[in-house]
Amino acid sequence: MHAAGGQYGAICGRRTGRGRRQRRLVLLVLLMGARLWAQDNSRDAVRLLAEADRLAMLNNWHKARPLFADAERLFAAAGDERNALYCKISRLRAEVQSMSFTEVADYLDRELSNQLVQADAKLRLRLLVVKGNIDLEIDPPSSRRDWEEVLAIA
């Protein structure tokens, strides 16, 4: 009787207390592993972003682009919308030479009304700097407005 219905599971659909404890333990281990994986990815994303920002400050957008893209993906996977958007805006700056300047400028203009952008001065500053650079190529008077707002924020 012990082997048929005891510690090894159920006969006739009954489950043992030990089986439930094992499932709970497995679930707990999986959840802890997922949390550690997310923390590791978040740290990786922060490192990638720091290096990408450093390269961007050196005006090496070509080398910064894949780092911004990887960090954007990791932040998005972790549910960090703010940093994912910061990386996307920066990635667009790195890719703008191969895209439509007008489309990127229009996208950035729309993002100015995004709640995240309105609530975060650093994010807004990045967006305006990128937009100011792009507008300088396609609409210099608009670029002046961008840079005046950058000055007001800084």
pLDDT computed for residue 38 by the predictor:
45
pLDDT tier at 43 (50, 70, 90 boundaries)? Answer: confident
pLDDT computed for residue 154 by the predictor:
84
Structural contact between residues 129 and 150, judged by C-beta atoms closer than 8 angstroms: yes
* Average pLDDT estimate for 54-68: 95
pLDDT computed for residue 83 by the predictor:
96
Structural contact between residues 101 and 138, judged by C-beta atoms closer than 8 angstroms: yes
Report which of 153, 97, 151, 104 is spatially closest to residue 131, judged by C-alpha positions: 104
Structural contact between residues 108 and 134, judged by C-beta atoms closer than 8 angstroms: yes
13: left (phi over 0), alpha (psi -120 to 50) or beta: left
- Domains of the chain listed by start with CATH number: 37-153 (1.25.40)
Report which of 127, 57, 61, 60 is spatially closest to residue 88, judged by C-alpha positions: 127
